[in-house]
Amino acid sequence: MPRRMPDLSVYLVTDRLLSRGRALVDVVLAAIRGGATVVQLREKEGSARETLELGRALLERLRPLGVPLIVNDRVDLALALGADGVHVGQGDLPPEVARRLLGPDALVGLSITGAADLPTLDPAVVDYAGVGPIFPTGSKADATPALGLEELARLRRLLPVPVVAIGGITAANAPAVIAAGADGVSVVSAICSADNCEVAASALAQAVREGRARRASSPG
């Protein structure tokens, strides 16, 4: 594929409601200073116009830093923004439609909530899979049952694209998630709700490195 995959190590999903009244741009920039490598704009509240303006503000700051901005669900907003890509769920616009609209160079991510979703992922269309929830999570009201680490490892073996694990992930359990095969961890509250977003992101980045070292040293 002509698209260049970004570093998926620490994938931040935004949530203004969990950001404790702080400006979203400030939360995101602090997270990037700490080691966040990808930002997904996910805004379930507010109008499309408000989200567009927020996306523009983020893109203006992220582009010079080389950090990709992915838009959750809304292919139209991703297109209007000129964002780096879109992440779609199983109930959203099909990934092949997103690809057709956004073009060959955009990043397209797809949520995988279990083995039943695997046939929906075409590696010629989808760049990475967001697999989860791995652990119980409070940041997504409609989350499906937690998969656990063993199922994550099994799905990773079956998936032909990089995997970002999501759902209940913290700096404490991230090493085990990476050791199970995930290429990166996606978090919401672990950064957005933290007292210090930069420190929280740094701890997650360190946890990812620890998990990779653990995986590299494991037999087989």
| Catalytic residue IDs | 42, 111, 140
Q: Does 18 appear as a known binding residue?
A: no
Question: 133 and 167 in contact (C-beta within 8 Å)?
Answer: yes
Q: Where are the beta strands (DSSP E) in 102-206?
A: 107-112, 128-131, 163-166, 184-187
By three-state DSSP, how is residue 152 classified? Answer: helix
- 189 close to 18: Cβ distance less than 8 angstroms: yes
> Would you say 40 is a known binding-site residue?
yes
- Residue 37 is labelled as binding a ligand: no
Residue 206 labeled ligand binder: no
Q: How many Cβ atoms are within 10 Å of 128's Cβ, its own excluded?
A: 26
Residue 139 labelled as part of a binding site: yes
On whether 9 is known to bind a ligand per the annotation, the reply is: no
Which residues 6+ apart lie within 8 Å of 90 measured at CB? 110, 111, 113, 117, 120
Q: Is 138 annotated as ligand-binding?
A: yes
Annotated binding site: 40-44, 72-73, 92, 111, 137-140, 168, 188-189
Annotated binding site for Mg(2+): 73, 92
